[in-house]
Amino acid sequence: MTAARLEVSGLSAGYGPTRIIEEVSFVVPAGGRMALLGRNGMGKTTLLATLAGQTKRHGGTVALGDTELTALDGSGRALAGLGYVPQSRAIFKSLTVEENLFVGLKDRPKTAIEEAYAMFPRLKERRRNLGSQLSGGEQQMLSTARTILGQPAVLLLDEPLEGLAPVICEELMETFAHLAASKAMTILLVEQRIKAALDFAESVVILERGRVAWQGTPAALAAQPETVDRLLGVGH
C-alpha cells in the first residue's frame, strides 16, 4: 500500500458519555509527517484511539484518502489501511517474536519479516522468545515492527520511543522519516520527547483539554517560545 491523505473534520469523542476530544480538525497529506503534542492528559492517546475506531465517537468524520472511515470499526479501519501502534504495546504474549511478526504480515510472504529484523536486529536475536519474555523496550520494538510490516497507508504511533535506548530512538526516527519520505506511509506521531518529534515532523498539532490549541509548522512553533511554554510546559 502507498501513503494516503488523512483528513479529520470536527471530530468529537470520548469514553461512553464522557467527551474528551472536542471538534478536532486537521489534514495530513499523503506521505506527510505530523506530530501530535500536548501535556499529560490532554487527549493525545484518546485522539489516536478514536482515529483507530476504539472510542465512542460523538461527531465529526475521519477519512483515509477517498475512504470514509467513520462508520467502520477498528478491524475495518485496519483493512482500509490504518496502522495503529498503541501505547499499551499490543503484542501477543503467548506467541514468539517471530509468530507475532507473522501476524503483522497479513498476506505478504513470510520472508518479508527480514524487514523487521533489519529495523530491529534485537528482535532477530530474540525471535524464539515469547512476547511475555521481552523487556518493555523490546515489546515496543515488536509492536512497532509488526504494524509496519502490514504496510499501512497511514501509521499512528503513540509514544514509540518509550523505553528505548537513545541510539535506537535515533535510528527509529530515521526509519519513520524514510517511510514517509518514500511515500510508503503517512505518519502521525504522539511523542513526549518534543525535540525528537519536532525534528521529525512537517506539521504540528497541539491539544489542550481535547481541543486543538495550536497548529502549524515546527519552525513557526520554534519562533513562539511562549506558546511552547504555555501549551507544552517547557521553556526553550
Ligand X SMILES: Nc1ncnc2c1ncn2[C@@H]1O[C@H](COP(=O)(O)OP(=O)(O)OP(=O)(O)O)[C@@H](O)[C@H]1O
Distance (Å, rounded) from C-alpha 16 to C-alpha 52? Answer: 16
Shortest Cβ distance from residue 39 to ligand X (Å)? 7
42 binds ligand X (CB under 6 A): yes
- Is residue 147 involved in binding ligand X (CB under 6 A)? no
Shortest Cβ 40–ligand X spacing (Å): 3
Nearer to ligand X, 15 or 181 (CB): 15
3-state secondary structure the chain: CCCCCEEEEEEEEEECCEEEEEEEEEEECCCCEEEEECCCCCCHHHHHHHHCCCCEEEEEEEEECCEECCCCCHHHHHHCCEEEECCCCCCCCCCEHHHHHHHHHCCCCHHHHHHHHHHCHHHHHCCCCEHHHCCHHHHHHHHHHHHHHCCCCEEEEECCCCCCCHHHHHHHHHHHHHHHHCCCCEEEEECCCHHHHHHHCCEEEEEECCEEEEEECHHHHHCCHHHHHHHHCCCC
Please report how close the Cβ of residue 42 comes to ligand X at its closest, in angstroms: 4
Q: How far is the CB of 181 from ligand X (least distance, A)?
A: 27
Residue 40 binds ligand X (CB under 6 A): yes
Q: From the CB of 69, what's the least distance to ligand X, in Å? A: 19
Q: Other CB atoms closer than 10 Å to residue 143's CB: what's the count?
A: 24
Contact flag: residue 20 with ligand X (CB under 6 A) = yes
Sole binder of ligand X in the list 32, 43, 137, 218 (CB under 6 A): 43
* Choice from 1, 10, 27, 41 touching ligand X (CB under 6 A): 41
Tell me which stretch binds ligand X (CB under 6 A): 40-48, 67-75, 138-146, 180-188. 40-48
Nearer to ligand X by C-beta: 56 or 124?
Answer: 56
Least Cβ distance, residue 4 to ligand X (angstroms): 24
Q: Which of 11, 12, 45, 78 binds ligand X (CB under 6 A)?
A: 45
Question: Can residue 44 be called a binding residue for ligand X (CB under 6 A)?
Answer: yes
If the CB atoms of residues 46 and 143 are measured against ligand X, the closer one turns out to be 46
Interatomic CA distance for residues 236 and 224, integer angstroms: 10
| CA gap 133, 139 in Å, rounded | 9
160 binds ligand X (CB under 6 A): no
Stretch that binds ligand X, among 2-10, 12-20, 104-112, 116-124 (CB under 6 A): 12-20
